Amino acid sequence: MTGREQWGSRFGFIMAAAGSAVGLGNIWRFPYTTGENGGGAFLLIYLAIILGFGLAVVIAEMLIGRAAQKNPVGAFRELGGKGWSAVGFMGVLTGFIITSFYVVVAGWCLAYIGFMASGKLATTDAATLQGTFEGFISASGAPLVYAAVFMALVVLVLSGGIGKGIERANKVLMPLLFVLLILLVLRAVTLPGAEAGLRFYLIPDWSQVNLGTFREAVAQAFFSISLGMGTMITYGSYLSLKENVPSSALTVVLLDSAVAILAGLMIIPAVFAAGLNPSAGPGLTFITLPAVFAAMPAGAFFGIVFFLLLSIAALTSAVSILEPMIAYFVDEHRINRRKVVFGVCAVCFALGVPASLSLGMMAGFKIFGLSWFDLMDTLANNFML
């Protein structure tokens, strides 16, 4: 192939970058983090960090990519000199680690579409739902099968290349995601008893805020707008030199925040309406929400829609976590894109296997006192990013 592929349109680029930003971070992590950190006050602090800080870094990453027209490793080498390529390399490496557990959680989302449809989750008893969830994620076979199916979808999108793969998928999936999200928000806020949740979510209670709140908000913000892994550098590298970066970046950041806010608006009032606790942590999505769906009219339908939404969001983000690595091997080692896609995805899946098994069969196997799943998570989020 001659020349580097580019986005087909500005809209396509914005959808792809927004597809990257909008992921499990917005719909799974944001609502429970907000629930654990006191609601409304956290929301305001989060937005201030995104707009005051995050936006500038998104613009910087996109500009680095656009200027160099290269993957993160090549871009840092070209703009900063040889030593700087280590920074890009770190990002690419972090991508491998993050994908390994991202794919496992994404597999759970796919599985839950089926569980919702089969009526397996049709109970409001939290203990039963917790049993179902823990039983499923600690199994050795099923979660890996779902992770493999998810990975196959990622391969499908990535092997299409930039315009026909990533851009095309995002142009369809992102608008669909918005429609599904609005549908679910309308359902949630009109449930009887939703007002208490709206109050918790929208009226800040500053007595809940401490230094830890800020740390959580910064971590959440950077993960949510896909920073630190070279994703925005790589997506920026498929822009032509005359593209206006700041206005696209602003749109992407606003879309990402809008989805996070709406995800909270969908989940928190529904949780209050069902008389449940919004600070249930990571289990909020997989344990508390099924109880909420079981209690609402046509809950199974809305539940299917919800987990579909979550899977779509995860897919467009997983693709973007892998693209910097793909671009690296294509640019620097001149390997055929399809081969790279298969190779990189196979390695990431292989890293996901211990991440998944560490929740069950291999639970006794610990490194620095952490399971493989938590080790990868801690290493990537608290250290490498």
Contact call for residue 311 and ligand PHE (CB under 6 A): no
Encode 267-316 in three state secondary structure: HHHHHHHCCCCCCCCCHHHHHHHHHHHHHCCCHHHHHHHHHHHHHHHHHH
Residue 101 engages ligand PHE in binding (rule: CB under 6 A): no
CA pair distance 350, 323, nearest whole angstrom? 18
Selected from 21, 43, 185, 252, the binder of ligand PHE by CB under 6 A is: 21
- The nearer residue to ligand PHE, 191 or 289, going by C-beta atoms, is 289
Identify whether the C-beta of residue 252 lies closer than 8 Å to the C-beta of residue 58.
yes
Q: Based on CB atoms, which residue is closest to ligand PHE, 21 or 104?
A: 21
23-42 binders of ligand PHE (CB under 6 A):
23-26
Which residue in 32, 96, 133, 223 binds ligand PHE (CB under 6 A)?
A: 223
State the distance between the two ends of the chain, measured CA to CA, in whole angstroms.
33
Q: What is the dihedral of CA 22, 52, 254, 162, to 10 degrees?
A: -50
Is residue 356 at the binding interface for ligand PHE, with CB under 6 A as the rule?
no
Q: Which stretch binds ligand PHE (CB under 6 A): 147-155, 208-216, 218-226, 328-336?
A: 218-226
Member of 231, 248, 257, 285 binding ligand PHE (CB under 6 A): 231
Q: Please, which residue, 109 or 292, has the CB nearer to ligand PHE? A: 109
Q: Does 224 interact with ligand PHE (rule: CB under 6 A)?
A: yes
Neighbours of 237 (CB within 10 A): 28
Stretch that binds ligand PHE, among 134-142, 224-232, 283-291, 332-340 (CB under 6 A): 224-232
Helices (H) and strands (E) in the chain, counts: 19, 0
CA separation for the pair 38, 105 (Å, rounded): 25
Q: With CB under 6 A, what is the number of residues at the site for ligand PHE?
A: 14
- 100 scored as a contact of ligand PHE (CB under 6 A): no
| Packed helices 245-273 and 195-202: angle between N→C axes, nearest 10 degrees | 140
Selected range binding ligand PHE among 18-26, 81-89, 183-191, 295-303, rule: CB under 6 A: 18-26
Query: To which residue do tokens 């970066």 refer?
Result: 245
Chosen residue from 226, 237, 285, 311 binding ligand PHE by CB under 6 A:
226
Residue 72 in contact with ligand PHE, rule: CB under 6 A: no
Cα(100)–Cα(244) distance, rounded to whole angstroms?
34
List residues near ligand PHE by CB under 6 A: 20-21, 23-26, 223-224, 226, 229, 231, 317, 320-321
